[in-house]
Structure 1
Amino acid sequence: MALNTEINLADLTSQFRGLNLNEPETWPAAPRVLFAVLAAAVVLLLGWQFYWSAKFDELDRQRQEQESLKQAYQSKVAQVANLDALREQKKQVEQRVALLERQLPNKTEMDALLADVNHAGVARGLQFELFKPQAAVIKPYFAEIPVNLRVTGRYHEVAQFNADVAALSRIVSMQNLQLANTKDGGLSMEAVAMAYRALDPDEQAAQRKAAAAAVAAKAGGAK
């Protein structure tokens, strides 16, 4: 029995001697079978690697998509969590806007406001050398009325006048201030007192129309 095994092993080994690699069709049965098995194994291995490579790429894409969805979810959660705070901020802004709107006089109240500015200067002992309201400049939500003025007086009187104007219940801002000493040791101030008023209904309608036209023109230009 052992002799037969040695003979078979010797016969099998002899089949691998002197193989011509360029003519595998001439090989004995054992080398051809072994080569076929190895070739099949290589094909299976390459196919397996290709299959799992595609699977890993797909897994990577799915993980990226999962991370993107996670970030989007967290963003939505944060927005919901901040919803009450955003509503409170909106409410506060609306209250501030309403307060500012109440501080804007209408057309009929402008004369009284300009009189208050003039009175504030006279009450501080200032001399008005110029007090000239200009034409209103219409803005989207209000109108500006610049008043060119020039006053003379002592330094502290000019300072108190500016403080009084800033403290008026209506909004008036001093712009383009120019200060100069006078010959008698006093102080001269030239400035533009910018007063603001609310738009009347016709002006509001005109501004809405202009805004709509601007939006339409922008949309048309984007096409």
Structure 2
Amino acid sequence: MKDLDLSELDLSTIGSWPSAVKAAVVVVMCLIVLGAGYFLHIQNKLDELERIQAQENSLKSEFEKKQAKAANLDAYKKQMKEMEESFGTMLRQLPSKTEVDDLLIDISQTGLGSGIEFELFKPQSERQIDFYAELPIQISMLGGYHQFGRFVSGVAALPRIVTLHNINLSSDKDGNLKMDVTAKTYRYLDEEELAAARAKNRKRKR
């Protein structure tokens, strides 16, 4: 066996090879088969396992997020209800189209009740913004600091929303104080106006 020359081995006479040689050949063949099986089958399975594990982690993370949202669902519903109630309260502070004239009278009477004298009280053109319309009013009035203060406080106390912008105080040659201001009031759009606004926006996007 020690003097065996591998070059003398012939595959056609494999049956007559020494037992040790045949055993060695069997071992080598087994290793080749196992290696081929690993690379052709097991490696693919391992790659697939890694993909499944990564997918499992992703699904687990997504499940935990959804579970957290589900746990807070009641809190979200409560918060939504509070927001709807708050929005409804704010919306009720916006006059309808038919109430705007009354609101303009309220602003004018607030000024007269404060002791000021109107030089100009001129409503401007409406400007539609989303679900409401903005109505600016250009006002010029004469009076004193305390009278102007009472006017501003009275406007703030009105049940409808009125905001004051671009306030400018000046005095004439006789020392009389003049205040120029833009008052803005708002009203909500009715369904027909909202539909017309949506149609107009769709045309602009085309």
Whether the TM-score (by the shorter chain) exceeds 0.5 is yes
Corresponding position: 1:80 with 2:79: no
* Superposition map of 1:96-115 within 5 A: 96-115=86-105
Counterpart amino acid of 1:139?
I
Name the structure 2 match of 1:168.
158
Which TM-score applies when normalising by structure 1? 0.74
SS of aligned partner of 1:14:
coil
Structure 1 unaligned residues grouped into runs of 5+: 1-11
1:131-183 per-position Cα deviation (integer Å, ceiling 9, x unaligned): 10123223342222211111232233323322221221011111222333444
- Calculate the TM-score normalised by the size of structure 2: 0.80
Deviations 1:53-85 (A, max 9, x none): 222211111111111221221122122112111
**Gapped runs of 5+ residues in structure 2?**
none
Q: Mapping of 1:59-78 within 5 angstroms?
A: 59-78=49-68
Secondary structure of residue in 2 paired with 1:196: strand
**Cα distance change of structure 1 residues 112 and 152 upon mapping to structure 2, 3 Å threshold:** same
Structure 1 residues 214, 38: closer, same or farther in 2, change over 3 A?
A: farther
The structure-2 alpha-carbon separation of the partners of 1:191 and 1:24, relative to structure 1 and needing over 3 Å to count, comes to farther
| 1:37 paired to 2:26 | yes
Change (3 A) 1:46 1:217: farther
2-side partners of 1:212 and 1:75: how far apart? 39
Partner of 1:47: 36
Provide the residue aligned with 1:207 in structure 2: 194
Deviates more, 1:178-187 or 1:122-131: 178-187
| Count of residues in Structure 1 that have an aligned counterpart in Structure 2 | 201
User: Are residue 144 (structure 1) and residue 134 (structure 2) matched?
Assistant: yes
Checking the alignment, whether the CA contact within 8 Å between 1:24 and 1:32 is kept in structure 2 is no
1:138 and 1:122, CA in 2 relative to 1: closer, same or farther beyond 3 A?
Answer: same
Q: Tell me which residue corresponds to 1:178.
A: 168
Give the CA deviation at 1:215. 5.9
Distance verdict in 2 for CA 1:182–1:34, change over 3 Å? farther
Cα distance in 1 for residues equivalent to 2:162 and 2:204 = 35
1:14 and 2:14 are equivalent in the alignment: no
Give, in whole Å, the separation in 2 of the partners of 1:24 and 1:208: 96
String of CA shifts for 1:82-132, please: whole Å, max 9, x gaps.
Answer: 211111112112211221222122233222211211122222222211110
How has the CA–CA distance of structure 1 residues 93 and 14 changed in structure 2, closer, same or farther, with 3 Å as cutoff? same
Q: CA deviation at 1:24?
A: 7.1
- Root-mean-square deviation (Å): 3.0
Shift of 1:212: 5.7
Identity of aligned residues (%): 36
- Aligned equivalents of 2:51 and 2:196: distance in 1? 50
SS in 1 for 2:59: helix
